[in-house]
Structure 1
């Protein structure tokens, strides 16, 4: 059974590509270079929907620039879940994941980026700044929506059905 790919593969040619990663629209309240999304479903919803199914796969065939953004989103969700414990309250989770999403991170082409073999670096500093701003906005919105899903039943503890995936490593990689 193959892994699930992004539904935005066909649309990714309509949007800007930096390196070989799509800059897709996002429904967000955070400032950044992402275009506002007009639809109810965006790449962040897709990352959250496909995380648990795709986390079982060690191999993933990349079919386009939107898949690279999906990979990054899945790996970021995994690193978010690793930061949380089973007794973390919603307020603590907001603080932890907000700090994680704003922490220093590397982008394709940087020395510390773990997926440099799969991603092309930006062509110049302007594209690198655009990608860094987009990834930061992406991380902030993804962390916010992840918290909403983790604490949909109770504010006192996260969903055990999400925390069960903390030991899974998608593609044997981590951010």
Structure 2
């Protein structure tokens, strides 16, 4: 006599059989659907999902400077005599860019007089410094990026010189890791 002979089944046998049949039916439908796919379309869809355009890399910061001396609610640019020479020297390499970031002190008084918005005043400060650098011949206008700092860090403009060119040239010439069959000679 076996030790399992006296035990009654906990569920009816037909229920287990029905569940098995349902799983077989689902597996059959999966097989039918997968055999109807075009393998080239599937490969193209996977390649499109993984071969998307890479986001533009932020420039590597090489040097920084600050322009201080802005009045409350004032975007008038203070004298920048020393800064023009610094920018000219720092941006001598044509692969560099200068990011000019304006900021306010966060008080209710340090806002744009016409709109009452601090980001507009910060942008005006950054544009004024950028225009002075371009007029002074320190850098061309296509190599300047203007931004604002959302944090309240004081009434100043920060300048950062970044290396933005030539990093990905070698990677663009490399063959893809998963080449399409027939694409290579």
Q: Normalised by the size of structure 2, how large is the TM-score?
A: 0.26
Larger Rg, first or second structure (1 or 2): 2
Higher normalized strand content (fraction of residues):
2
Instruction: Using CA pairs under 8 Å that are at least 6 residues apart, name the structure with larger relative contact order, 1 or 2.
Output: 1
